[in-house]
Structure 1
Amino acid sequence: MSSPVESPKDPSPLTLERRLAPHVDGAWAEDFVLELRLLGVAGDRIGAALTEVESHCADSSEGAPDAFGDAVTYARSLDLPVDDDESPRAVLRALAPTAVQLAGMFILSWSFGPALSGGPLEITVGHLAGAIVAALAIAMVVRVADPALRLLVRHPVRAGFLLWAWLVAVTGACVAALLLLDAPLWRIGAAWGVAAGAGLLAAGAAWAYADIRADRGLADPITSPLGPLPPSTSRRGRLLESPAFATLTATAVIPAGTLGLLALTLALHATTT
């Protein structure tokens, strides 16, 4: 049996799948959309494919699992064209503004403490080693992005634990490099480091904002070939579909985290002087 059409009295939120396909079983539709997303299919093609399933289920009163079988298997069997922008080079291009922001965060956090104490910034072997570890970590994320996303969406608890362990390992390696590889390489004025870090942070945020304005930084939305979808009644759905949320995530998260680190550094400096 198919899922009932949502009535006006139905208090449950209108998810994307229910707005596109009210006659299709919600869990089946979610798995179907998710698999096509992970395969890199464009949003308009995903919407068209789900609309065809919806049309069949609405006309025949047959449930999607009975008509099409397993959602993941059926999604793969469609062999829909894959968006070219899902290539590793495109992913690296999309991550470039974030990498610039992270570089600014590191340099600014390294320089802020010496600037407060009036001393120079010493760039050590550990600083360079930590930067290399961070770059390799980003490259690893790109390399295993597809299986990592599949694990995250299908086994969130296990993926969350592995992500936590990975972050601890990367952070531990960076800290160990700073503590053990303390041979100085360059010595510059801390104020110059603060200026360079702040400049990179601002440039990365501006780059991310420019990408969003050019529609390169936003996720490809899933659309219906039959016309505009009704608005989401879910707070989470409205948030995720909001352009302001995408802009805030891309341009403000790392600067906000950097301000938190600087505030902590300032507080520690105040308690030790």
Structure 2
Amino acid sequence: MSASRSDRRHAARFVLERRLAPHIDENWAESLLLELRLLGVGGDQIGAALSEVDSHCVESGEGADEAFGDPVAYARSLPLPVADDASPRALLASLGPTAVQLAGMFAMTWSTDSWLAGTPFEVTVGHLVCGLLALASGGILIGFADPILRALITRPRRGGVLLGTWFVAFTATNVAALLLLDASAGSVSAGWLLVLGAVSVTAGTAWALARLRAGSGSGDPITSPVGAEQAAPTRMERLLASRVVAVGAVPFAAVVLFALSVGLHAAGVS
């Protein structure tokens, strides 16, 4: 049973490569497809590039590796138009809505208890350190976006473990900073900070929804140039294109944490 399950996973992984380039090595085709997508090449251009490689290999009898060499290097050598801006500025813009949401969620979470108690919110050194860690993490994600995406797509289990480990370490570091670096750096109105946080979460969500409606970062489907049939989305395309869940994740967490704090306060726990 385990063998058949493994075969099914293998077949599902390469369904797009088999459809567009059935005569070349599946791993080579996947690497070419992935690199072109990460470079921001449009789906129709990617389909045409794969089909061209496949046709050449059929006519020449050569393997893709023999005829074109390393798939990543070959992908980068192709003079194809870039449909999506993959520059650091574009990556920063794509992360902007989530960053605004997270900033608002943290502001709401930190200020709720003080607001419920009717006291100002004390900004500690730990809070400032958490902000700096968040900025540093965003910079790392932007700087290493390509290898992170490759790890998540080509080795989802290993990439998921590494990403989960980073998240646990990031959370633990923030908690330690809040607990240990409790020296006051000033105080602000808890009510106003709570309102500012709610506005930030709302604004970030509206920004993210606007980008989705405009099709920004949605990833056009990869299609064959020899037929109108559209290839089914692969695991890679689903990972790169699906952002609907991510748009609502932070607002949902912010509301849950706020409700939990109110509930605990009402119960006399906090």
Q: TM-score range by the shorter chain?
A: 0.7 to 0.9
TM-superposed deviation, 1:199: 0.7
Matched, 1:206 2:206: yes
- Deviations along 1:174-214, one digit per CA (max 9) or x if unpaired, are 22221222233343343322211111001001011112222
Cα separation, partners in 2 of 1:242 and 1:176, compared to 1, 3 Å: closer
Cα separation, partners in 2 of 1:51 and 1:188, compared to 1, 3 Å: same
TM-superposed deviation, 1:173: 2.4
Alignment-derived partner of residue 192 in structure 1:
192
Give the secondary structure class of the aligned counterpart of 1:185.
Answer: strand
Unaligned runs of 5+ in 2: 1-10
Unaligned runs of 5+ in 1: 1-11
Alignment-derived partner of residue 122 in structure 1:
122
Cα separation, partners in 2 of 1:233 and 1:216, compared to 1, 3 Å: closer
Residues 124 and 186, structure 1, Cα contact 8 Å, conserved in 2: yes
In the superposition, the TM-score normalised over structure 1's length comes to 0.77
Residues 122 and 184, structure 2, Cα contact 8 Å, conserved in 1: yes
Alignment-derived partner of residue 265 in structure 1:
261
Give the secondary structure class of the aligned counterpart of 1:146.
Answer: helix
The 5 Å alignment of 1:130-145 reads 130-145=130-145
- Deviations along 1:127-160, one digit per CA (max 9) or x if unpaired, are 1221111111111111122233333334444433
Matched, 1:95 2:102: no
> Structure 2 counterpart of 1:251, which letter?
V
Alignment-derived partner of residue 48 in structure 1:
48
The 5 Å alignment of 1:34-183 reads 34-57=34-57, 64-65=64-65, 67-78=67-78, 80=80, 85-183=85-183
Q: Percent identity?
A: 51
Give the secondary structure class of the aligned counterpart of 2:85.
Answer: helix
> Structure 2 counterpart of 1:240, which letter?
R
| Separation in 1, partners of 2:57, 2:252 | 47
Give the secondary structure class of the aligned counterpart of 2:232.
Answer: coil
Give the secondary structure class of the aligned counterpart of 1:215.
Answer: coil
Cα separation, partners in 2 of 1:17 and 1:38, compared to 1, 3 Å: same
Alignment-derived partner of residue 249 in structure 2:
253
Residues 224 and 230, structure 2, Cα contact 8 Å, conserved in 1: no
| Separation in 1, partners of 2:233, 2:177 | 49
> Structure 2 counterpart of 1:100, which letter?
V
Cα separation, partners in 2 of 1:171 and 1:233, compared to 1, 3 Å: closer
Give the secondary structure class of the aligned counterpart of 2:188.
Answer: strand
| Separation in 1, partners of 2:219, 2:70 | 26
Cα separation, partners in 2 of 1:228 and 1:204, compared to 1, 3 Å: farther
Alignment-derived partner of residue 230 in structure 1:
230
> Structure 2 counterpart of 1:232, which letter?
A
- Deviations along 1:58-81, one digit per CA (max 9) or x if unpaired, are 666765456545544543453645
17-26 vs 207-216, which moves further = 17-26
Q: In the comparison of the two structures, how many residue pairs are matched? A: 258
Alignment-derived partner of residue 8 in structure 1:
none
| Separation in 2, partners of 1:261, 1:144 | 31
| Separation in 1, partners of 2:159, 2:259 | 31
Residues 209 and 250, structure 1, Cα contact 8 Å, conserved in 2: no
TM-superposed deviation, 1:30: 1.6
| Separation in 1, partners of 2:170, 2:121 | 23
Residues 208 and 251, structure 1, Cα contact 8 Å, conserved in 2: yes
Alignment-derived partner of residue 240 in structure 1:
238
Q: Considering only aligned residues, what root-mean-square deviation do their CA atoms show, in Å?
A: 3.3
| Separation in 2, partners of 1:231, 1:38 | 19
